[in-house]
Structure 1
Amino acid sequence: MTNVTIFGTGNMGSAIAGVLAAGGASVDHLGSAETGTITGDVVVLAVPYPALATIVEQYADQLAGKVVVDITNPLDFSTFDALTVPAGSSAAAELQAKLPNSHVLKAFNTNFAATLAAKQVGDVATTVLIAGDDADAKAALQQLVTAGGLEAVDAGSLKRAHELEAIGFLQLTLAASEKISWTAGFALVK
């Protein structure tokens, strides 16, 4: 059984926990503001982008050797008009630079909590796109996601996190401007 620690107890953290638990993983939560011990081999950061700095500061030693899943979208929430990372970079790439002994993956940022919980986007199975540089870490997350009833696709190296964050940015801005609902989203048809 895979042990997973999820930072964040909001909609996304709860939805991801439901998927992973449905697939047989043991899941525990840590609130982004609390201190504790990371028990999971896989750690999901289901927090707003600005919270990553605090988590890295407090838990870098505990995150060493772990698969760290960044779900954030580094969106400027004051304007909903730009990403806050440098052009060509990503929150996940910045996180990997700060956690060189961890296996950082980008995943779940192109999904809304409702589509994770429902396991569908419209009539299509919800697909989680996964980017990262460690093939074993990606395969492990892919297995957890598919065991939980969703589709999972290896989107390539961690460089692809840049494009995944752009998709997440677009989806968030469409929902915030009420052009799509928070139960909608992009679907991958195979």
Structure 2
Amino acid sequence: MKVTIFGKGNMGQAIGANFEKAGNDVNYLTSEDTATSLSELVILAVPYPALDTIAQQYKQELKGKVVVDITNPLNFETWNELVVPADSSAAEELQNKLPDSIVLKAFNTNFAATLQSGTVGGNTTTVLVAGNEEGKKLFNDALNDSDLNVLDAGQLNRARELEATGFLQMTLAASEQIGWTGGFSVTK
């Protein structure tokens, strides 16, 4: 499968490496690039504020695509709150801006280091994904041969809890209570 990743920072590269390991063809786009066509699966490995620009610029190209939002919409000035309403999420806002796309929430509860190593505290790294069934199936299929576990976190409204979890994990790391190589682990 072909995968387009917006962003080539630590997260974009770590995510891309897992898709490549699973046998997918990965194409990276940066803010300097302009794409005329996008893959069936598109990962937005960008900061939360960039979602608006991408949604506006690529709305037509994203029609019918599965779009994965990895952002944590946190107030980076205070590190003390999410900047989306409590009854919504960045992913739900993005879905409203891209009504002809299938938006998923995933990777926001993972750090790049745990995606690179494939482990968190000795356990396999688990990617939680929220969204509609069709999109999650494509996402799961694309990661099937990677070293990651993928767990279904429910419909897109569960992105609220995923973003709260990502926010908590980031604040713990920023306050040096956990490392950026650690994080939450899900065991069965």
Per the normalisation by structure 2, the TM-score is: 0.98
Give every structure 1 segment of 4 or more consecutive aligned residues whose post-TM-superposition deviation is greater than 6 Å. none
Question: Aligned pair in 2 of structure 1 residues 173, 38: CA closer, same or farther (>3 Å)?
Answer: farther
The residue identity in structure 2 corresponding to 1:45 is L
- What residue number does 2:51 align with? 52
Q: After the TM superposition, which residues 34-53 of structure 1 pair with which residues of structure 2 at under 5 Å, given as runs? A: 34-53=33-52
The residue identity in structure 1 corresponding to 2:96 is A
Distance of 1:34 and 1:3 partners within structure 2: 18
- What residue number does 2:175 align with? 177
Deviation string 1:150-176 (CA, Å, 9 cap, x unpaired) is 100010000100000000000000111
The residue identity in structure 2 corresponding to 1:9 is K
- Partner SS, residue 158 of structure 2: helix
Q: Runs of 5+ in structure 1 lacking a partner?
A: none
Deviation string 1:29-58 (CA, Å, 9 cap, x unpaired) is 000343223431100000000000110111
The residue identity in structure 2 corresponding to 1:71 is I
Distance of 2:22 and 2:173 partners within structure 1: 29
Deviation string 1:82-118 (CA, Å, 9 cap, x unpaired) is 0000111100000000000000000000000000000
CA contact (8 A) 1:32 1:47 kept: no
- Partner SS, residue 29 of structure 1: strand
CA contact (8 A) 1:129 1:153 kept: yes
CA contact (8 A) 1:32 1:55 kept: no
- What residue number does 1:101 align with? 100
Q: How many residues are treated as equivalent by the alignment?
A: 188
- What residue number does 1:7 align with? 6
Q: RMSD between aligned alpha carbons?
A: 0.9
Identity %: 57
Q: Runs of 5+ in structure 2 lacking a partner?
A: none
Displacement of 1:140 in angstroms is 1.4
The residue identity in structure 1 corresponding to 2:11 is M
Displacement of 1:12 in angstroms is 0.2
- What residue number does 2:120 align with? 121
Displacement of 1:9 in angstroms is 0.4
Displacement of 1:66 in angstroms is 0.1
- What residue number does 1:75 align with? 74
Q: After the TM superposition, which residues 134-153 of structure 1 pair with which residues of structure 2 at under 5 Å, given as runs? A: 135-153=133-151
